[in-house]
């Protein structure tokens, strides 16, 4: 019976009902975020015009500081071959699947830190909606004068009701990559794995820029969004201490009876 309880404790750190509740909560928040994101862009030419205007504003900013490198960067990736394939595959696969794997890993291996991660992710999605509503922005691949190749883009399409082609600011591919990978980096003990996790957002930034889905400034806004979301999670942890980030399991509480047993054995 003791072995059975130990196996169940490893499989369900907080019980099966908590597992269902936590992942239902995250799934509901993600679905709501996707629907809300898809609802904030217009369908007429007049409604879509601000998104193109905002994209050209970003082009002007990057050009003014000499860092409008997206066209040349994508040309290099396409000419080299394999970098373009990495960008195409990464945009289609890393964002959603990587996030799910991170949530599962933290829940089962570091359950004490899961509430903090959950709150950070939900806060980041909520903050990003403000950006999508107030500053709709077309991706670089929609701007004809940049001459980007749309074939490097991932598999999302406008037929998807949850898809918003003008949700470029902030880049939540980068924002969520920061949240998930840096959370894991602070939890794992292997230094090589930790280094790879800290570097992972750089890979995601490469993926979204080389695929033509984001300007590098979009990635910066994604990083700012993730930082604001961490701040929200910290404030929530002050209200509910059990939602605090825990890099290590809580210490085992030693009862008076447990203390007495070694003393009795020694006597």
Residue with tokens 């399991």: 249
Looking at 2.60.460, 1.10.150, 1.20.950, 1.20.144, the CATH number of the domain 48-250 comes to 1.20.144
**pLDDT tens sequence across 217-267:** 999 999 999 999 999 999 999 999 999 998 755 444 444 444 445 444 444
Domain spans, the chain: 48-250
pLDDT of residue 37: 84
CB 55 within 8 A of CB 139: yes
Give pLDDT tens digits for 166-224: 889 999 999 999 999 999 999 999 999 999 999 999 999 999 999 999 999 999 999 99
SS3 string, the chain, reads CHHHHHHHHHHCCCCHHHHHHHHHHHHHHHHHHHHHHHHCCCCCHHHHHHHHHHHHHHHHHHHHCCCCCHHHHHHHHHHHCHHHHHHHHHHHHHHHHHHHHHHHHHHHHCHHHHHHHHHHHHHHHHHHHHHHHHCCECCHHHCHHHCCCHHHCCCCCCCCCCCCCCECCCCHHHHHHHHHHHHHHHHCCCHHHHHHHHHHHHHHHHHHHHCCCCCHHHHHHHHHHHHHHHHHHHHHHHHCHHHCCCCCCCCCCCCHHHHHHHHHHHC
């Amino acid at each position: 019976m003791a072995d059975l309880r130990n196996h169940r404790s490893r499989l369900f750190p907080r019980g099966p009902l908590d597992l269902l509740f936590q992942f239902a909560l995250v799934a509901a928040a993600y679905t709501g975020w996707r629907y809300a994101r898809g609802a904030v862009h217009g369908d007429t030419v007049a409604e879509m015009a601000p998104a193109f205007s905002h994209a050209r504003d970003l082009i002007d900013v990057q050009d003014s500081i000499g860092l409008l490198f997206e066209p040349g960067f994508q040309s290099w990736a396409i000419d080299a071959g394999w970098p373009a394939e990495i960008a195409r595959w990464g945009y289609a696969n890393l964002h959603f699947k990587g996030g799910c794997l991170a949530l599962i890993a933290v829940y089962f291996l570091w359950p004490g830190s899961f509430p903090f991660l959950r709150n950070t992710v939900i806060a980041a999605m909520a903050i990003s909606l403000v950006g999508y509503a107030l500053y709709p922005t077309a991706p670089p691949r929609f701007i004809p004068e940049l001459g980007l190749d749309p074939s490097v883009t991932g598999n999302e399409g406008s037929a998807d009701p949850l898809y918003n082609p003008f949700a470029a600011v902030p880049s939540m591919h980068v924002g969520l990559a920061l949240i998930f990978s840096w959370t894991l980096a602070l939890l794992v003990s292997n230094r090589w794995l930790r280094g790879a996790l800290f570097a992972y957002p750089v890979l995601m930034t490469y993926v979204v820029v080389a695929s033509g889905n984001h300007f590098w400034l979009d990635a910066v806004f994604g990083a700012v969004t993730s930082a604001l979301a961490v701040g929200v999670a910290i404030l929530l942890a002050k209200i509910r201490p059990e939602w605090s980030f825990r890099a290590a399991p809580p210490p085992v509480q030693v009862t008076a009876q447990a203390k007495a047993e070694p003393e009795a054995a020694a006597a």
